[in-house]
Amino acid sequence: MRQSFLNRLLTLAFIGVFTSVAVAGETNSSAGAGELASLLESYESYQADFIQIVVNGNGNKVQETRGSLKAKRPGLFYWETSAPLSQFIVSNGDTVEVYDPDLEQVTIHNLDDRVQSTPALLLSGEVDNLEETYRVSGRRIGDHTREFTLEPRSPDSLFISLRLTFFKGELQEMRMQDSLSQISILSFDRIRLNEPVEASAFTLEYPEGVDIIRDGA
């Protein structure tokens, strides 16, 4: 079964296996948000391949997809998953277009406050308001790994918690839990950080004749 657009957007998270090494003390929310913002602000662009796994509340895998993504400041984002669950998501900073080849359908969403706070857009948007939007805690795992957990302050958030893992400053993994205890797990590979990306990479092409639906129309 295909996920809804918001579910799909929210499942932009990469996760890995946690090690059992000793961990340094956690930072408070303000310090954690500042450190995370500093890391993300150093990203002018981010490109990677990924594996996405969705696990239900019982710990059973219910879906696995592969794909690639590109993000570039300010606000540019491209997400593609491969068959048999082929889907394309592109954001220009103002709207998000979702193309479903199997359904021959394109849905266009405005970037309202709820969508703007989703994990996908942390890589392509401004992060100055992290402390206002999330409670952020951070910890070190070994010498080179830094982990941050984000809990939305808004009761209307589309997810409960998001965990970001960086290795030597590169975002490697994410894990997101929703209100139904479903966990979305993504793992990045072939990471290209701050390499040039043409603006044309953030356009969505689809055949003539597809249904175009505007959110709220």
Q: pLDDT tens digits, residue range 52-111?
A: 898 988 888 988 899 999 988 888 889 999 888 889 988 887 888 889 999 999 998 887
pLDDT at 67: 93
- Find the range with the poorest average confidence among 86-90, 117-121, 128-132, 211-215: 117-121
User: Model-level pTM?
Assistant: 0.79
SS3 content of the chain, % helix, strand, coil (to 5): 15, 45, 40
Residue 37 is inside which H or E element, if any?
Answer: helix 29-41
Highest-scoring range by mean pLDDT, 129-133, 195-199, 212-216:
195-199
Confidence (pLDDT) at 121: 56
Residue 7, judged by CB atoms within 10 A of its CB (0-12, 13-18, 19+), counts as: middle
The mean per-residue pLDDT over the stretch 130-154 comes to 88
Rounded CA separation 175/82 (Å): 21
Residues 6+ apart with CB under 8 A from 92: 75, 76, 202
Consecutive H or E run containing 8: helix 5-10
Indicate whether 176 pLDDT > 60: yes
Average pLDDT, the chain: 78
At residue 7, does pLDDT exceed 80?
no
Strand bridging mode 161-167 / 145-152: antiparallel
Going by DSSP bridges, is the β-strand pair 170-177/61-72 parallel, antiparallel, or unpaired? unpaired
Residues 43, 45, 49, 52, CA torsion sign: positive
CA angle 73, 65, 36 (to 5 degrees): 35
